[in-house]
Amino acid sequence: MNIANFIFYLLAALLVISSLLVVFLRNVVHCAMALVTSLLLIAVLFVTLQAPMVGVLQVMVYAGAIMVLFLFVIMFLNPNALEPQRGGVWWGFATFLSLMLGGALIAFFTQEESAADPVAATELFGSPETLAKSLFSDFVLPFEIASVLLLVAIIGAVVLAKREH
């Protein structure tokens, strides 16, 4: 087993563990920190998959901004009381359904042999230049629409969270 495979197995195990922690911990702040860990692990996986630009964006945007916003809201709302019995009557059924979904996906993915060796990557594969060329030539319309979407989200959030006087 060479180094690359070992790193993948290690990252995969840690990712599954921290995802389970996100879902099953009682304290909300601990859940948020487990999610930050998951996001950082996924960013490392991106880098091993020859996508350094997307990996660093994941750290900057997801782990560095969105999760900080989550933590702000958690501290602001300050939920002291522990939540009541988890999920109520239906939690067993819900877990069973999700496991069925996961199992179906896994069965689907192990059906056929995938190409063991990926296409050889050039030096510039996941670099900022390649991504930028793609973004500003083929995908310029979605890019502009995404910026309008973010503007709409900012305005909407400010309006929604305002205190009624």
Write out the binding residues for other proteins, residues 30-89 only, by CB under 8 A: 30-33, 35-36, 38-39, 42, 45-46, 49-54, 56-66, 68-77, 79, 83-84, 86-88
Q: How far is the CB of 124 from other proteins (least distance, A)?
A: 8
Q: What amino acid is encoded at 139 in this protein?
A: F
**C-alpha torsion 67→71→74→80, nearest 10:** 130
Binding residues for other proteins, rule CB under 8 A, total 100
Q: Which is nearest to 21 in space by CA: 38, 7, 40, 9? A: 38
**Subset of residues 94 to 153 that bind other proteins, contact rule: CB under 8 A:** 94-95, 97-99, 101-102, 105-106, 109-110, 114-121, 125-128, 130-131, 134-135, 138-139, 142, 146, 149-150, 152-153
Q: How far apart are CA 4 and CA 45, in angstroms?
A: 11
Q: Using alpha carbons, list the distances in angstroms from residue 164 to 3, 72, 156, 159, 161.
A: 57, 20, 15, 10, 9
Which amino acid makes up residue 125?
A: F
Residues 35 and 22: beta-carbon distance below 8 Å: yes
Q: How near is the Cβ of 18 to other proteins at its closest, in Å?
A: 10
Q: Does the footprint of other proteins cover residue 14 (CB under 8 A)?
A: no
CB of 39 to other proteins, least distance (A): 7
Pick from 10, 14, 16, 165: which binds other proteins (CB under 8 A)?
Answer: 16
Tokens of 61: 């945007």
CB 136 within 8 A of CB 143: yes
Given 14, 44, 144, 154, the residue binding other proteins (CB under 8 A)? 154
Smallest distance from other proteins to CB 114, Å: 4
